[in-house]
Structure 1
Amino acid sequence: MTTSFADLGVPAPLVAALNDNEITAPFPIQIRTLPDTLAGRDVLGRGKTGSGKTLAFSIPLVARLADVRRRPNRPSGLVLAPTRELATQITETVKPLAAAYGLKVTTIFGGVSQSRQETALNGGVDIVVACPGRLEDLMKQRLISLDAVQITVLDEADHMADLGFLPGVTRILAATPATGQRLLFSATLDNGVDKLVRRFLHDPVSHAVDDGKDAPPPAMTHHVFHVAGAQDKKDLVHRLASGTGRRILFMRTKHQARKLAKQLTEAGIPSVDLHGNLSQPARDRNLAAFSTGEARVLVATDIAARGVHVDEVELVVHVDPPAEHKAYLHRSGRTARAGSAGDVVTVVLPEQRKDTQVLLRRAGITVAPQLVGADSTPVQALVGEVAPLRMPAPKAAPPARPASPKGQGRGSGGGGNGRRRRGAAPGASQRPARRSGPRRTGADAR
């Protein structure tokens, strides 16, 4: 017998909102957690990336606040997320549900002017989806108070409990009422998560659906491609990027991500980059280009490993294998989402083979490595149809700088203001003493 959202106790207005968005059947993580979250229990939910966790906490978040009275600068619901991209995508999931009850949702993160966020808060919002850094800034400026929060959600809880987030997250949770409901969701629940659980959750219920009979059918195929050297790796990566579908290529550094995106674009494979050095408008533009198909390839650092959801990403390539196994799982989770199929490739240089073997074992991935080149049969089978090259438009040459009129400009031999240097003999040149290095003239001297 198929379980419906209504069977799980989801209120009718939210069931209708889900149907309007063509969401009719709950995923296992939702089936497991919704009875407890809708009943007001504190819950820890663990499920693989793409398993439906965002909807699993968005439904009880909105349902709890259905009759809330909106007040300026005092939200009733709070969702914490580690990255701007994840915060934005959570907001996109929550808004259609919130609209069923007339609830207002706003997103708070750094990298953009806070004036618009201040305006939204002053006007009154019911649910805030926030990154910890900017949220704490607004708290310190007394622009937001969390003393009316009835339900708090911590998404990607394992990531929020390490990498320097933990102190800020602890301060934020401490600013919410102790009587409020708290939900923690992640693909893994380890590291400092237990510290947050012990301090902030009351009699929590744990649910995990990433193994056993509750796991969705495996739709992700892993490949490990060994290459002989750096040039072979470059050729292989360009070939893997050349297919017709969307693909995400992961690099370790911002510089290398930017460099590879530029190289691919110049080679006729439209690509955009995503990393921490980009402004928020640039991030938004690049993600939009990737989502619409204007760019087929996204070259990213681990900033895209969590929270970036674009439909029909058919291939993830670990151009640089990650440092630890959780990053591997989160990167890989950008494909094969919500039951769709996808492939994951790890490109391995000779000196990386031992570390990658350990990494995959810790990630629970068993796959036989293959020594390949760009034209090897396994590579061609994975790439499939090669997309036509789209060479970038040539850049326009900069306009020529107009020449200075003869006899004018600093440093010229003629003209001038008719005054001679102090101590110079009559008739001596009025040119300043020559400096070492190239002589500057005209506009170059300003």
Structure 2
Amino acid sequence: MTYILDFKELNLIEPLSRAVEEAGYSRPTEIQAKAIPIILEGRDIIGCAQTGTGKTGAFAIPLLQRLEQEKPAGKGLRVLILTPTRELAIQIDENFKIYGKYLRIKTLCVYGGVALPPQARALKQGGDVLIATPGRLLDLIQQKYADISSVHTFVLDEADRMLDMGFIHDVKRVNAYLKNRKQTLFFSATLPDAARKLAASMLTRPATVSVTPVSSAAETIRQGVYFVNKQEKTNLLIDILKERTESRSLIFTRTRHGAERLAKKLAKSGITATAIHGSKSQNARQRALEDFKNFRAPVLIATDIAARGIDIEALPFVVNYELPDVPETYVHRIGRTGRAGVSGDAVSFCDKGEEGSNLAAIQKLIGFEIPVIKL
């Protein structure tokens, strides 16, 4: 099996290569090095990798390359990505928009919990890539708003979580609509028997690649967790930041909308903060990073995808304003501090009702209970 050591080996088209570089990638991650050549060959693949390992880039980059090079593009959706949760769908959509920012590829994203008509209207206008959660996609198909018959590549993301959440029948129903597809990409953090059986029923002579998940943080990072109600998080953050006026702080939120809202709230309280996320132009993101590095804006609020380009040696403080859904992402987030032997602090805000299970999963991964900080 051939692995790539540098993105230049792939001969990516210039607009895609530029976007990948601007996203903070100089070299491929392990899963990207293993998976991208296989996907570009058009082969089916089983990829075993956690979110936080660069997995989305492992399928987004080669798919964008192939979509852009298809002549003619044809009509209808060409790629379908099925993922179990709204949050993951949004993250994947942000990734595709960042990597494909200079391409002519249109990405659509549909999920439950929001009004259906706007999504139906977007589908009517057409697109190339559809990112969807199973229930909402089936609703749209049954109401004749979504037609996936032209899809040639099917990506099943977080397959084990899909099974854990009881979506196996929905996945099989979606799969039945994809009679014309030529390639299936199956990604899962683990491969229990149920996931192996599902893969065997969907894939043809797949290549299998896997990476070892990151499971520990540097010993130089002092970790702590506050148990705080969701509506009290902003006030707590303001109090903490006002006590740390001498240093820079990196704050993680789940979504770009959350990052923008939080930046505005901090500004109203007199704290200079800037936000970076996938919807901002590269120039705007670069300005925000420069302001952060040069202490003009001592607080930077970021989504996980936008934070990839942040590499600051002396970053003393990281805050998980919202806990990530995937435990490995926590390790990647707090790894922004405590570098090069210099100690750092990482604190997390946990709403017991909504985020208790996220904290439990994180503590299981890292192998110890994060010390509770009393309010």
Same-fold status (TM-score > 0.5): yes
Compared CA separation, residues 309 and 82, structure 1 to 2 (3 A)? farther
One-letter amino acid matched to 2:108: T
Is contact 2:46-2:187 (8 Å) kept? yes
Which residue does the alignment assign to 2:266? 294
In 1, distance between residues paired with 2:304 and 2:156?
17
TM-score under structure 1 length normalisation = 0.56
Is contact 1:78-1:152 (8 Å) kept? yes
Higher relative contact order (CA 8 A, sep 6+): 2
Unaligned runs of 5+ in 1: 226-235, 239-248, 250-255, 276-282, 297-306, 320-326, 348-357, 376-446
Which residue does the alignment assign to 2:341? none
Which residue does the alignment assign to 2:330? 334
Compared CA separation, residues 203 and 112, structure 1 to 2 (3 A)? same
Query: Any idea what SS the aligned residue of 2:17 has?
Result: helix
Compared CA separation, residues 125 and 195, structure 1 to 2 (3 A)? same
Q: For 1:15-414, what aligned pairs fall within 5 Å after superposition?
A: 15-66=17-68, 67=70, 69=72, 74-177=76-179, 179-190=181-192, 192-210=194-212, 219-220=217-218, 237-238=225-226, 257-258=229-230, 261=233, 264=236, 285-290=257-262, 294=266, 311=307, 314-315=318-319, 330-331=326-327, 333-337=329-333, 340-341=336-337, 363=365, 365-367=366-368, 374=374
Q: Render the CA deviation track for 1:214-259: whole Å, top value 9, x for unaligned.
A: x7x964559999xxxxxxxxxx855xxxxxxxxxx7xxxxxx8436
Compared CA separation, residues 68 and 48, structure 1 to 2 (3 A)? same
Is contact 1:308-1:334 (8 Å) kept? no
Q: Deviation at 1:154? A: 1.8
> Kindly, what percent of the aligned residue pairs are identical?
30
Query: Any idea what SS the aligned residue of 2:31 has?
Result: helix
Is contact 1:317-1:344 (8 Å) kept? no
Is contact 2:35-2:209 (8 Å) kept? yes
Query: Which has the larger share of helix?
Result: 2
In 1, distance between residues paired with 2:334 and 2:157?
18
In 2, distance between residues paired with 1:57 and 1:370?
34
In 1, distance between residues paired with 2:5 and 2:111?
37
Q: Deviation at 1:293? A: 8.0
Query: Any idea what SS the aligned residue of 2:187 has?
Result: strand
One-letter amino acid matched to 1:186: S
Q: Render the CA deviation track for 1:352-410: whole Å, top value 9, x for unaligned.
A: xxxxxx989974x445x7988759xxxxxxxxxxxxxxxxxxxxxxxxxxxxxxxxxxx
Q: Render the CA deviation track for 1:243-291: whole Å, top value 9, x for unaligned.
A: xxxxxx7xxxxxx843664884797889x9x99xxxxxxx874353347
In 2, distance between residues paired with 1:318 and 1:112?
21
Q: Deviation at 1:153? A: 1.3
Is contact 2:107-2:129 (8 Å) kept? yes
Q: Render the CA deviation track for 1:54-80: whole Å, top value 9, x for unaligned.
A: 1111012212322265566x3111111
Q: Deviation at 1:201? A: 1.0
Is contact 1:9-1:38 (8 Å) kept? no
In 2, distance between residues paired with 1:361 and 1:87?
25
TM-score under structure 2 length normalisation = 0.65
* RMSD of aligned residue pairs (Cα, Å): 4.4
- What is the number of residues matched between the two proteins? 306
One-letter amino acid matched to 2:261: A
Q: Render the CA deviation track for 1:70-97: whole Å, top value 9, x for unaligned.
A: 566x311111122222212211211244
Q: Deviation at 1:142? A: 1.1
In 2, distance between residues paired with 1:265 and 1:316?
10
Query: Any idea what SS the aligned residue of 1:185 has?
Result: strand
Greater radius of gyration (CA): 1
Is contact 1:70-1:125 (8 Å) kept? no
